[in-house]
């Protein structure tokens, strides 16, 4: 495979022939490799992921911003927290007249989500940081985030929310973000990776991991990411 690749503005000059070993070590170098492959496909399908670095830090992170519509007035038999993706162009074209805004927001609310994927040196796994706010800049509270978690995850969340979603400082930006705690990541990723090796199937760690943890906070990946990983075999 090629030794030099550029993706999202960052370069790799090492042999792209990685495979997770039995100890499932996932260092910064391997993290950036999988992010590069992930972003390459994102650019191909226009999914909005990009790589960012800080001038004060050599480490980088993968990020995406998107908008969701949150139903404010639920209809009979539906949840008040049903969400759907809203393209950025539509979100920025909301009515400017006060009466129109009042009428619109009475039925729906538009929420801006920022998702950041970083590498955890402590746990040696990727970590999903995110924050959410209304278009007027008001941030969502931690309780709002908990309430918006998909139904199939709420049981675990109610048993120990602080083990699932917490709020802490972004390690690179130094700003408050919500984070999905990484303490269980190796527990569910190790069997998946071992099974992939057993059947000799190529997987992108970031793609597999994000497809599992992302839906907890409203982040869903197109199926084409999985197909892209298989095509790279």
Range list of H helices, the chain: 28-45, 88-91, 98-107, 142-147, 151-159, 185-198, 205-213, 224-231
Q: Hey, how many other C-beta atoms are within 10 angstroms of the C-beta on 27?
A: 11
pLDDT in tens, 50-102: 999 988 777 899 999 999 887 653 333 333 344 455 444 444 444 444 444 44
pLDDT tens profile 192-229: 989 988 888 888 999 999 999 998 888 999 999 988 87
Residue closest to 12 by CA, chosen among 36, 28, 31: 36
Is 183 catalytic? The answer is yes
CA distances for 11 relative to 36, 66, 101, 173, 233, angstroms: 9, 26, 45, 22, 21
* Cα(115)–Cα(177) distance, integer angstroms: 10
Structure tokens that stand for 228 in this block = 């892209």
pLDDT of residue 119: 96
- Options 57, 85, 121, 183, the catalytic residue: 183
Q: Of the candidates 14, 7, 47, 8, which has an alpha carbon nearest to the alpha carbon of residue 30?
A: 14
The answer, yes or no, to whether residue 145 has pLDDT greater than 90, is no
What integer pLDDT is reported at residue 9 of this predicted model? 39
Q: What is the pLDDT of residue 25?
A: 66
The alpha carbon torsion through 136, 174, 41, 23 (nearest 10 deg) reads -140
* DSSP element (H, E) containing 25: none
């Amino acid at each position: 495979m090629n030794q030099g690749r550029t993706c999202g503005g960052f370069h790799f000059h090492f042999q792209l022939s990685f495979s997770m070993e039995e100890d499932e070590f996932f260092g910064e170098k391997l993290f950036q490799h999988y992010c590069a492959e992930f972003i390459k496909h994102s650019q191909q399908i226009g999914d909005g992921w990009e790589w960012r670095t800080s001038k004060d830090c050599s480490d980088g992170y993968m990020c995406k911003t998107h908008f969701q519509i949150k139903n404010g007035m639920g209809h009979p038999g539906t949840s008040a927290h049903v969400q759907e993706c809203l393209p950025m162009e539509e979100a920025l074209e909301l009515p400017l007249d006060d009466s129109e805004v009042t009428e619109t927001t009475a039925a729906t609310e538009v929420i801006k989500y920022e998702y950041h994927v970083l590498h955890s040196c402590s746990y040696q796994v990727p970590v999903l940081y995110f924050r959410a706010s209304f278009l007027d800049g008001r941030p969502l509270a931690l309780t709002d985030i908990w309430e918006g978690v998909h139904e199939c995850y709420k049981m675990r969340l109610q048993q120990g929310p602080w083990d699932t979603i917490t709020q802490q400082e972004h390690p690179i930006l130094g700003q408050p973000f919500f984070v999905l705690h990484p303490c269980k990541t190796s527990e569910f990723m190790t069997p998946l990776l071992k099974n992939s090796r057993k059947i000799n199937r190529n997987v992108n760690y970031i793609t597999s991991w994000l497809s599992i943890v992302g839906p907890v906070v409203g982040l869903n990946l197109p199926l084409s990411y999985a197909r892209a990983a298989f095509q790279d075999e």
